Amino acid sequence: MKVSVPLENKSLESPVCQSFGRTPLFALVDTESCAVEYLDNSAAASQGGAGIKAAQMIVDSSAKVVITYRLGQNAADVLNAANIEVYKAQDGTVIENIEKWKEGKLSLLDDIHPGFHNYGGM
Amino acid sequence: MRIAVLSGKGGTGKTFVSVNLACAAYKAVYVDCDVEEPNGHLFLKPCITKKEQVKVKVPEVDMSKCTGCRICVDFCKYNALAYINNKLMVFNEICHSCNGCIYLCPEKALKAKERAIGEIEEGISENVTVFTGRLNTGEVSGIPIIKGLIEKLSDEDTVIIDCPPGSACVVMESIRKADYCILVAEPTLFGAHNLSMVYDLVKLFDKPFGVVLNKCMDGENPSEQFCIENKINILSKIPYDEEIGRLNSEGTIVVRADERYHQIFSKILEVIS
């Protein structure tokens, strides 16, 4: 199964990015084969709707799980429509979060924020 | 003449200056472009003569025609569209109504649908015609309402445009057709900083402008300092006066209640025109 996590640098040892829509990168980790891929987030510089575009990319990457600190309403709508499960990240690195998720220690993200719409997250 | 009243932050006295200028004129049109929280009507208490909805066009998809080519999704600079599980999702609130997606769809699967985002109210308050724009709660952009308000203005009247606070897109739209800009500033460091932001904006738009220093007290006035340093025309210095505060809190228009203030605001109009 593919798990996607927003992160700052191309290393699973780097921390989970605080933002979903405007993260510079996503890690895409196949939990069976352990293959790791990094996706450039082209939505990061969007004028608006970054969460929607980033979520579209995650859907297209065929990830089934997302681990993130936060998620806006629009991005949540896109991920929900694709039946992607979203888990709340905990402080630590990406790999630590993926391990915790495997052990069932992460909870589903339920505090969806209304978004930072308009003019690129004012 | 169209006079826009703006400031870098809320609470400096934009509405106070706008409403009083309109009332000090022989005859004027007051336009409330602060569509997220219009409050000029609280003072002017206009008798409403007309109300109309402001509508924007958003795309509606016919999924029986959509082939999932995603041309629309890739085109939209605001990312108002997503294609998920063989379905096109439209995020109406994010759409800027450019209609590009409808135009580009090779299957003609998209068509325009009207959506109300707010309203424009017209009314009369003695010598002042009052236009109030109001954005519905939850909507993202008030620009279409401001455009609708500005379209209604004739060239002959004395028009006072009460702008939203700040220096973002909504303010730019509000001052675009103005002949003169009045910047209202408070006597604080924060006030001077915000003044510098709208100062940059009116220079960028190449508008004639002047500053009204509001709530002036004895001692240092960083906003006045800023005006002197940048050789900005100071139109008026309105004193900090508890009587103004009291009248304002009661929803009274000071130029209609106090001759001294009528003179102050008449003089501003004279200087500008």
Q: Which residues of B touch A81 (CB under 8 A)?
A: 82, 84-85, 87, 89
Residues of A in contact with B170 (CB under 8 A): none
Residues B127 and B26 sit within 8 Å (Cβ to Cβ): yes
- Burial-class residue B155 by CB neighbours within 10 Å (0-12, 13-18, 19+): exposed
Identify the band that residue A122 occupies on the pLDDT scale cut at 50, 70 and 90. Answer: very low
- Each residue's pLDDT tens digit, A15-39: 999 999 999 999 999 999 989 999 9
Q: Which helix (H) or strand (E) holds A113?
A: none
Residues 6+ apart with CB under 8 A from A104: none
Residue with the larger pLDDT of the pair A118 and A77? A77
- Residue A120 buriedness (CB in 10 A; 0-12 / 13-18 / 19+): middle
Report the b/e string of A58-88 with b at 16+ CB within 10 A.
Answer: bbeeebebbbbbbbbebbbbbbebbebbbbb
Q: Which two tokens stand for residue B55?
A: 């509508």
CATH of domain A2-102: 3.30.420.130
Q: What share of chain B is helix, strand, coil (3-state, %, to 5)?
A: 35, 30, 35
Please tell me the distance from the alpha carbon of residue B120 to that of residue B52, in angstroms, as a whole number.
Answer: 5
Which of B70, B79, B83, B90 should one mutate to test binding to chain A, selecting the residue with the greatest count of A CBs within 10 A? Answer: B79
- Beta carbons of B94 and A56 less than 8 Å apart: no
Q: Which of B77, B85, B140 sits opposite A82 (nearest CB)?
A: B85
* Distance separating alpha carbons of residues A110 and A103, to the nearest angstrom: 19
**CB within 8 Å: B73 and A48:** no
Give the pLDDT score at B140: 82
The model's pTM is: 0.79
ipTM above 0.90, yes or no: no
How many residues are listed for chain A in this entry?
122
Which domains does chain B show, CATH number per domain? 2-54+117-272 (3.40.50.300), 63-108 (3.30.70.20)
Q: Are B245 and B13 in contact (CB under 8 A)?
A: no
- pLDDT by residue for chain B (273 residues), tens only, comes to 999 999 998 999 999 999 999 999 999 999 999 999 999 999 999 999 999 999 999 999 999 999 999 999 999 999 999 999 999 999 998 898 999 999 999 999 999 999 999 999 999 999 999 999 999 998 888 999 999 999 999 877 899 999 999 999 999 999 999 999 999 999 999 999 999 999 999 999 999 999 999 999 999 999 999 999 999 999 999 999 999 999 999 999 999 999 999 999 999 999 998
Q: Over the range B186-218, which residues count as b (16 or more CB within 10 Å of their CB) and which as e?
A: bbbeebbebbbbbbebbeeeeeebbbbbbbbee
**What is the predicted pLDDT for the residue at A120?**
40
Q: For A75, which residue in chain B has the nearest alpha carbon?
A: B82
Distance CA B162, CA B184 (A): 11
> Cβ neighbours of residue B2 under 8 Å, at least 6 residues apart?
B153, B159, B161, B177, B178, B179, B180
Q: Letter for the amino acid at B67? A: T
From the list B79, B83, B84, the residue facing A48 with the nearest CB is B79
Taking only the tens place, the pLDDT of each residue in A49-68 is: 999 999 999 999 999 999 99
Per-residue pLDDT at A118? 46
The whole-number pLDDT of residue B141 equals: 86
Tell me the C-alpha distance between B136 and A100, whole Å: 43
What pLDDT does residue A117 have?
55
Residue B154: what pLDDT?
A: 83
Q: Quick one: pLDDT at residue A48?
A: 86
Distance CA B175, CA B181 (A): 7
Q: Tell me, what's the pLDDT at A54?
A: 97
Mention every residue, 6+ apart, whose C-beta is less than 8 A from residue B268.
B21, B24, B182, B212, B235, B236
